[in-house]
Amino acid sequence: MKTRIAACSCGQLKVRTRGEPVRVSVCHCLACQRRTGSAFGVQARFGRDAVEIGGESREYVRIGDEGNRVVHHFCPACGATVYYAVAGYDEGRIAVPVGAFADPAFPAPSISVYEVRKHSWVGLPAELEHQD
Ligand SMILES: [Zn+2]
Ligand SMILES: [Zn+2]
């Protein structure tokens, strides 16, 4: 089974994933823009049992639009978020920012969400599912 490793900028915090992601998505929401420091976020979800976490992390909890607690786990040394989970929804899954894998061959996203917040210059393939 395919194993991949996601890591923070300094390499202290790591997530090892087994198998293919359950879902890979692009999100243009303002919270993802702030979290990533980029124009949009790309994240892969894995079942909790397919993920092994190593290293020290701190938590940042953001309350989502629907009142969900989004718990971000970031490296205390370099600040990069390496995984997050949404409490009370999607409980069995861990989301990993795709950039943390630093792998240009990582599977492409199948869906693009929050396009109402999309920067006007961003173009994504038409075969993706698109949601406002
Ligand atoms: Zn780090
Ligand atoms: Zn988002």
% of residues, the chain, pLDDT over 70: 99
The radius of gyration of the chain from alpha carbons, rounded to an integer in Å, stands at 14
Q: What is the pLDDT of residues 104-127, one digit of tens each?
A: 999 999 999 999 999 999 999 999
**pLDDT tens-place string over residues 44-81:** 999 999 999 999 999 999 998 788 899 999 999 999 99
* Closest of 80, 86, 9 to residue 45, by C-alpha: 86
Q: Which residues surround ligand 2, an ion (CB under 5 A)?
A: 27, 29, 32
Q: Is the pTM of this model over 0.85?
A: yes
How far is 45 from 25, CA to CA, in rounded Å?
Answer: 8
Distance 10 CA to ligand 1 centre (A): 4
Q: Residue 128: exposed, middle, or buried by beta-carbon count in 10 A (0-12, 13-18, 19+)?
A: middle
Ligand 1 mean position, distance from CA 31 (Å): 21
- Determine contact, residues 34/20, Cβ cutoff 8 Å: no
